[in-house]
Amino acid sequence: MNRLVIVSNRVADLSSSAQAGGLAVGVGDALRQRGGVWLGWDGQTLKYEEPPEPRIRKIGPVTQATIPLTQQDYEEFYLGFSNSVLWPLFHYRLDLVDYKSDFLDGYRRVNGKFADALLTVLQPDDVIWIHDYHLIPLASELRQRGCTQRIGFFLHIPFPPPEIMAAVPKHRWLVESLLDFDVIGFQTNTDLGNLQHYVEDQLGYQMNGNRIKIDDREVIAGCFPIGIDVDAFNQMAQQGNEEVQIEMHRRRVLGRQQIIGVDRLDYTKGLPDRLRAFGRLLELFPELRKNVALMQIATPTREEVEAYVEIRKELEALSGAINGRFADFNWTPVRYMYGTVPRDALAALFRASQVGFVTPLRDGMNLVAKEYVAAQSIDNPGVLVLSKFAGAAEELREALIVNPYDSDDMARTLCHALTMPLGERQERQQALIDRIRKKDARWWLNTFMDALENNQYTPANC
């Protein structure tokens, strides 16, 4: 077996139990299974340049190799092109793009820096797997430096249609760089279709099945929906967490149900719309007041980007307004927590909640949806209410699917979920758990590696 070298913008701390962020969770699961090297930024910003050699640390079967960035890199590459241009655009939010020409220079420069660092650790038989929108030009940078190993890429976020892609500065260059990979993986068939439209209509290449022919080479472009370690998550949920159990018991005595939302505090996750929908539920169905609460846990993220400061303020104002309007001396309708929760507590909270409320405005996949399903018991499962704009909705068809822009639709669906008979809940849960088991973390790793190492790919029936 070849050594696997993974590259992503950040390297997660594999020794910690609190991981907020889908890439850290997904890649962490994959590497724990197979071992290998994980290279990325260490989160430090320096005033000066450092030599390219990364700092090496071994954690079990994984070697972590980290590099610092300069303050300028951080501003132009990370906050700038990656998170103020590509992130909003790839999530169809043209209104939130904030572009300066330095950003693109920084994006190219830092991709070159990642290539230099990677070359110092690469061995001839390695296979390289690069992750996400920060590093789209990395294969191209590596090839320019003579790297001949197979290189794959997985995009964790959506790939937008050509009309939206056209708003990315130098989009032709960006997509041409993407085609320097040997394998390009997407979360959904919609994303894959968007790439196909772009390469056929804008670049004039043909995609036959899942292969794009470019001069004398072939690139595989496929759909590899990311999965989770279902049994591990279910076990965590079953083991429980003492504080969560006590709280659940208290609610049971009072006959109260809980709706749960867990997200990075990102404008793509539809949090204000979610809170408004919950407010609408209490308005439309007064009989539910005092009988249901929404627990929303939102973890801080990218706090230096203006749009993120705004969303936090909006959310605090909205939860305050709903509580001000509906709360009683012994009932708080919205319990809003700004922070990160350890994974075992999260799993227990999912199991203890009657509804998982996952309503992004646009999302590559959304692992929370899969985690919520994995945490349920088949004896008395909760109900997943899922936005049709989450990649996960392509697979999880037995969830209650909602339009996150329509609060009345969401409120009515919540009411349906809260009152759903046990038999229907069990049927839906069984179908959903079968789906997430079939395409779990191991399936994701193995199918991608099969394409990367063996040039084999059969389209997944998403």
Catalytic annotation, residues: 156, 363
Which residues does residue 66 pair with via DSSP β-bridges, in sequence order? 40, 55
Q: Which of 62, 260, 281, 367 binds ligand ADQ (CB under 6 A)?
A: 367
20 touches ligand ADQ by CB under 6 A = yes
Please identify the residue of the shown chain whose CB is closest to the bound ligand ADQ: 22
Using the contact rule CB under 6 A, the part of the chain among 167-175, 324-332, 364-372, 450-458 near ligand ADQ is: 364-372
- Please compute, for residue 439, the number of CA atoms within 13 A of its CA located in the half-sphere on the CB side: 24
- 317, 282 Cβ separation under 8 angstroms: no
x/- track of binding to ligand ADQ for residues 252-271 (CB under 6 A)? ----------xxx-------
The span from the CA of 102 to the CA of 129, in Å, is 28
Q: Which of 152, 222, 333, 364 binds ligand ADQ (CB under 6 A)?
A: 364
Interface with ligand ADQ in residues 151-190 (CB under 6 A): 156-157
340 touches ligand ADQ by CB under 6 A = yes
Using the contact rule CB under 6 A, the part of the chain among 54-62, 286-294, 297-305, 396-404 near ligand ADQ is: 297-305
The span from the CA of 68 to the CA of 9, in Å, is 11
296 touches ligand ADQ by CB under 6 A = no
- 202, 170 Cβ separation under 8 angstroms: no
Using the contact rule CB under 6 A, the part of the chain among 92-100, 176-184, 280-288, 291-299 near ligand ADQ is: 291-299
Listed in order, strand segments (DSSP E) in 233-333 are 257-264, 292-299
The pair phi, psi for residue 90, each rounded to 5°, is: -70, -20
Instruction: Give least dist CB 264 to ligand ADQ, A.
Output: 5
Q: Is 35 left (phi over 0), alpha (psi -120 to 50) or beta?
A: left
Using the contact rule CB under 6 A, the part of the chain among 22-30, 188-196, 281-289, 314-322 near ligand ADQ is: 22-30
229 touches ligand ADQ by CB under 6 A = no
353 touches ligand ADQ by CB under 6 A = no
274 touches ligand ADQ by CB under 6 A = no
192 three-class SS = helix
226 touches ligand ADQ by CB under 6 A = yes
**20 vs 219, which CB is nearer to ligand ADQ?**
20
In single-letter form, the type of residue at position 302 comes to R
Sheet containing 62-70: give its strands across.
55-59, 62-70, 36-46, 4-10, 127-131, 151-154, 183-186, 217-223, 211-214, 207-208
Instruction: Give least dist CB 25 to ligand ADQ, A.
Output: 4
DSSP 241: -
83 touches ligand ADQ by CB under 6 A = no
x/- track of binding to ligand ADQ for residues 389-428 (CB under 6 A)? --x-------------------------------------
227 touches ligand ADQ by CB under 6 A = no
Helix (H) / strand (E) element for 22: namely helix 22-34
The span from the CA of 405 to the CA of 387, in Å, is 9
346 touches ligand ADQ by CB under 6 A = yes
Cβ-based neighbours of 195, under 8 Å, separated by 6 or more: 159, 175, 178, 184, 186, 221
26 touches ligand ADQ by CB under 6 A = yes
The residues of the shown chain that bind ligand ADQ, judged by CB under 6 A, are 18, 20-23, 25-26, 156-157, 226, 262-264, 297-299, 340-341, 346, 363-368, 371, 391
